[in-house]
Amino acid sequence: MAVLAFYSLVAGPLGANMWVNSVEIREPNTAVCQRLESEAPIVVLTGGMQGAPTEEDAVERLHSDSFRRTVAGVRLAQTRPASVVYFSGGGSGLVTEAALMSRVAQAFGLPEARIRIEQASRNTYESAVNIGDLLKVVDTNEIYLVTSALHMRRAINVFEAQGLQVCAVPTDSRFIDVEFSFFGFLPQVTALDKTTAVVHEILGRLVYKLRGYY
C-alpha cells in the first residue's frame, strides 16, 4: 500500500502538479520589473533541441520549450520596442540553439537588427556569465529574463550572482489546478513526466549551489 501511495504522489496528476507548484515561478517579480528601464535587454534562454543540426533553417529540431520561450521573448519585445533580444545557448551541432531560435523569432516578425546571439554557453550558468560579460560592454546590468516557469528560480539565482538585476518573465508553466478526486491519484505518463522534470530541476539547483554558482 505504501508503494502504491508513493507512486500515486509522483505519477498521479494531483501529486505531480503539487510538486510543480512548489518549484515554478509563474508571475513576474513586480518589484524588480518596475525599477527596470523599458529599453533593458531581453534575454531568452534556450530550452533544448534534437540532435546536432547542420542547416541554418532546421528549426524543427528545437524542443517545445525553446519554441515557447522564443514566442514569449518576441511578445515581450513587441511591448519593448527599444530593447534588443539576446538568445543564449549553444549546442553540439554546426548550428546552435540560439541561432535556430533567432530564426523562429524573425519568422514571427522580430527584426534581425534587434537580435543578438550568444552561442558559446552549454548551460544556464554559462549563459549568465557570458551574458553578463556582453552587457558590461553596453554598460547595463538590467535584463528581462525569459525562460520556463520551472527553470526560472535557478536562472534568476545565477544571473543575479553575476550582478544583474533580473525581471523574471516566466513562460511555459506545467502547472494545472487538478480537482481533488479519485482520478487525481490515477497514474498518468504526463504526470510522471512533470515529476521527473521537477526532480531534474531540484537536482540542478543542488548541483549549482554545491558548485558555488550562486
End-to-end CA distance of the chain: 41
Outline where the chain has alpha helix (H): 2-11, 13-23, 30-35, 64-79, 97-107, 124-137, 152-161, 189-210
User: How many whole angstroms separate alpha carbon 140 and alpha carbon 165?
Assistant: 9
Residue 52 belongs to a domain with what CATH number? Answer: 3.40.50.620
Predicted pLDDT at 10: 76
User: How many whole angstroms separate alpha carbon 209 and alpha carbon 194?
Assistant: 23
Q: Which of 118, 122, 164, 172 is nearest to 145 (CA)?
A: 164
- 181 within domain boundaries: no
- The string of pLDDT tens digits covering residues 13-38 is 888 999 999 999 999 888 889 888 88
- 188 within domain boundaries: no
**How many of the other CB atoms lie within 10 Å of CB of 46?**
28
pLDDT < 70: residue spans in the chain: 1-9
- 148 within domain boundaries: yes
* DSSP three-state, residue 81: coil
pTM flag (> 0.85) = yes
**How many of the other CB atoms lie within 10 Å of CB of 108?**
13
* DSSP three-state, residue 147: strand
What is the number of domains present in the chain?
1
Q: Which of 176, 175, 172 is nearest to 152 (CA)?
A: 172
Query: Are 161 and 213 within 8 A, CB to CB?
Result: yes
Predicted pLDDT at 4: 61
- 145 within domain boundaries: yes
Predicted pLDDT at 188: 86
User: How many whole angstroms separate alpha carbon 77 and alpha carbon 140?
Assistant: 18
Rounded to the nearest angstrom, the gap between the alpha carbon of residue 30 and the centroid of all alpha carbons in its chain is 18
Query: Are 12 and 53 within 8 A, CB to CB?
Result: no
Q: Characterize the bridge pairing of strands 142-148 and 85-88.
A: unpaired
- 84 within domain boundaries: yes
- The string of pLDDT tens digits covering residues 109-126 is 999 999 999 999 999 999
Predicted pLDDT at 7: 59
- 19 within domain boundaries: no
Domain that holds residue 81: 26-174
Residue 92 C-alpha cell reads as 553540439
Radius of gyration of the chain from its Cα atoms, rounded to whole angstroms: 18
